[in-house]
Structure 1
Amino acid sequence: MIKDQLTSGEFDPYYGIYIDKVGEKSLLDALKEGRDDTIQFFESIPNSKLEYAYAEGKWTPKDLLLHLIDVDRVFSIRALFFVRSKDANLSGFDENAFAKNSNANTRTIANLIEEYKAVRNATIALFESISEDVLKNIGKASGSALSARAAGFIICGHEIHHTEVIQERYL
């Protein structure tokens, strides 16, 4: 399935900015290409920039990579709930609290990339195991409707968004 098969009732309009960034790839291709592109991108960032924040209170590239890992986990868990249970209603998460408590900048970039790979590979395995019909299942997350397949596209587009931000403001 491709993002253009999503209907407006499958996600909060807020997430449209991320979903639109995916292009015409299938969900599985977007997850796999995103993994490879993101690994290559973070491996290319100079060490001097990995703990750099362009303004006070902004996250570093290491913080952003761990944020991508967290979002991958959160949205894949949402998808899992929606395909395995009826009427799942999940709370939101505070990405700033997650980042504050992540200690990303105490870790090496190699360690963060290894965690990213493991999480993304698990996300790919999850989505590979779900039939197209079940991917249409809708639950609630943060008070809004969300389908399992929209959650997957949000993971992909969110990742593209943040790599673009790093390219524009950090490098």
Structure 2
Amino acid sequence: MNSVQLDNSEYAPFYSNYITVIGEVDLRSVLKTSLEDLITTIKVLPEEKLTFKYAEGKWSIKELVQHIIDAERVLSYRALRFSRNDATDLPGFDEDWYVDNSNGDERPIKDLLEEFKLVRKATLALFKSFSPEMLGKTGSANGSDMTVRALGFIIAGHQIHHLNIIKERYL
């Protein structure tokens, strides 16, 4: 499955940046390579960079990593529910509230990166388990319809989006 095969009706306009940032790639490939890109970029940074916030109300790199982990869990859960024909309109989540309650800055970066690897490994296994029919199933979250396959690309694009912010604003 390639990202350019997605139709923009498969996801809410809010997510279009996450789809376009990944370019023309295969889903499993981008999930694997984006994982390594984030880990390679962050694991060498000193602690003062990891907890730095470039402006009032912005997150630190550690908080961004925790946010990526939390969002991937939520989006993967949505993909699982939609793949199983669950017609429940799932609620959104307040990302700022999650970060404020995550304890991200107090956690060792090694632990955050290990957790991210495990979550991504689970995401890869989940998407590998989906048949082509399941990837095309649709569900609703926060009042917007989306397909299972779009959620996979949104997961990867969301992480790449935040890695780009880290490179542009923190490094």
Per the normalisation by structure 2, the TM-score is 0.97
- Alignment-derived partner of residue 148 in structure 1: 148
Q: Deviation at 1:6? A: 1.0
- Alignment-derived partner of residue 94 in structure 1: 94
Q: Percent identity?
A: 47
- Alignment-derived partner of residue 107 in structure 1: 107
Residues 12-21 or 84-93, more deviating: 84-93
- Alignment-derived partner of residue 70 in structure 1: 70
Q: Over residues 47-96 of structure 1, what are the superposed CA-to-partner deviations in whole Å (9 max), with x where a residue is unaligned?
A: 22000000111100000000000111011001000001242310100000
State how far apart, in whole Å, the 2-side matches of 1:128 and 1:165 are: 29
Q: Which runs of 5+ in 2 are unaligned?
A: none
8 Å Cα contact 2:82/2:147 also seen in 1: yes
State how far apart, in whole Å, the 1-side matches of 2:55 and 2:106 are: 19
State how far apart, in whole Å, the 2-side matches of 1:35 and 1:100 are: 24
8 Å Cα contact 2:85/2:137 also seen in 1: no
Per the normalisation by structure 1, the TM-score is 0.97
Q: Tell me the secondary structure at the aligned position of residue 90 of structure 1.
A: coil
- Alignment-derived partner of residue 20 in structure 1: 20
**Alignment length (residue pairs):** 171
Question: Aligned Cα RMSD in Å?
Answer: 1.0
Q: Which runs of 5+ in 1 are unaligned?
A: none
State how far apart, in whole Å, the 2-side matches of 1:124 and 1:136 are: 17
Q: Over residues 26-61 of structure 1, what are the superposed CA-to-partner deviations in whole Å (9 max), with x where a residue is unaligned?
A: 111111111111111111323220000001111000
